Amino acid sequence: MGFNFNQTKTQKTFKTSITNHFMKETTLKEIANTLGISITTVSKALKNYPDVSEKTRQAVLDLAKDLHYTPNSFAVNLRTKESKTIGLIIPEVMHHFFSNVINAIIDEAEKNGYLVIILQSNESIELEKKQVELLINKRVDGIIMSLSNESNFDEHIKEIINRKIPFVMFDKISKLANCSKVLIDDQKAAMSATQHLIDKGCKKIAHIRGPLNPQNAIDRYIGYKKTLDKNQIPYDPTLVYTCENVTFQEGLDFAKQIIEEHPDVDGVFAVTDLVAVGVLSYFNDHKIKVPQQVAVIGFSNWFMSQVLTPKLSTVDQPSHEMGVASFHLLLEEMNAHKENIAFAPKTLILETNIIERDSSRKS
């Protein structure tokens, strides 16, 4: 009867091994059958459980190696309920700041055994909602995100938090969201940048700000305004120009507009380097001397800004550190989540500092 039983099992095995296009993947079952032991023992042997004899363990290890056994991650995911994959949503991959962050997150994640799925919102809240949904359905272990210009503490963000999915926001965050955050003090940084121009002797400073919605554009604008106040420079709203898409072209266009509307402007603080580079480009082409006539300072310390003539002064925004910090906060939360330990969201504010280069070196 024992024999009969065995035979039945063997038949089953054959029946199951459907021939298809997939390269026959080695499974625990195959190893078990070959060695005439149970699947459990094979599993345990591979994971160094103590209750497997040295002899059996070796046999399993050897055969597993021979057959290039790799655990089926789909099955492991299902059992363990985690996929060692995180999701990252950013406005756009091609932006220098974000590529830096991506770079950091991918590397840091990998070092810690995680893979990263990247999605872009293209600054659209609709797309962003879709991306969040995709990641939730995918059941990633955690999500790192920088908001699009259109988003705030909207439904999709609440959904992530409600579902208790480990979640970190960086750079473009929503103040209302109760989750971990990694950011810089944009107001303070903008104050330093504006003060820098004033210290260099600028008396009439224009500000090319970012869109009206995102928090960091607001904060930079406030920083600019506060610093004028502090230095008893009257605030003139016509000196503030608002970008819609924060592009090189907008920098170019606003530079033209600034010079036409305020020929006596002697300083420009742009919300980000790309825009500042547009400004520089216009000034270059129109023989407006930088920094002699107009000093310019950007924001975020893009690699390219030190390559231009004149080299652009800027605020150093630690993109790489932001990526690393974001991942580590997420990791902490994912670990707590797994152990079913309550996790109190943390906010990390990273330091920035002014990098003085030619575009503001007046003295």
Partner DNA sequence: AAAGTTAAAATAATCGCTAAAGCATTGAAA
Partner DNA sequence: TTTCAATGCTTTAGCGATTATTTTAACTTT
The binder of 144, among a second copy, DNA, none, by C-beta within 5 to 8 A per type, is: none
Report 137-156 residues binding a second copy (CB under 8 A).
Answer: 137-139
Distance in angstroms (rounded) separating the CA atoms of residues 198 and 360: 10
Residue 188 CA to residue 24 CA, distance in Å, equals 60
Of 7, 10, 66, 75, which lies in the binding site for DNA, with binding defined by CB under 7 A? 75
Smallest distance from the beta carbon of 280 to a second copy, in angstroms?
Answer: 9
53 lies in the binding site for DNA (CB under 7 A): yes
Determine if 38 is a binding residue for DNA (CB under 7 A). Answer: yes
Quote the CA–CA distance of 33 and 238 in Å, as a whole number: 80
Q: Where are the beta strands (DSSP E) in 163-306?
A: 167-170, 180-184, 205-209, 240-242, 267-270, 295-297
Spatial distance between the Cα atoms of 161 and 294, rounded to a whole number of angstroms: 47
Query: Tokens 């003060």 identify what position?
Result: 195
- Work out which of 33, 34, 37, 124 binds DNA, going by CB under 7 A: 37
Residue (of 135, 97, 100) closest to 115 by Cα position: 135
* Minimum CB–partner distance for residue 114 and DNA (Å): 17
Instruction: Identify whether the C-beta of residue 143 lies closer than 8 Å to the C-beta of residue 327.
Output: no
Q: Residue 362 and residue 173: Cα distance in Å, rounded?
A: 35
- Residues in 277-296 that interact with a second copy by CB under 8 A: 277-278, 281, 284-285
Please tell me whether residue 81 binds a second copy under the rule CB under 8 A. Answer: yes
By C-alpha distance, which of 232, 224, 228 is closest to 190? 224
Q: How far is the CB of 272 from a second copy (least distance, A)?
A: 14
Site residues, DNA (CB under 7 A): 12, 15-17, 25, 27-29, 36-41, 43-44, 46-47, 50-57, 69, 71-72, 74-76, 78-81
What residue ranges bind a second copy (CB under 8 A)?
Answer: 20-23, 70-75, 77-78, 81, 83, 85, 92-94, 96, 99-100, 102-103, 106-107, 110, 115-120, 131, 134, 136-139, 162-164, 248, 277-278, 281, 284-285, 303-304, 307-309, 337-338, 340
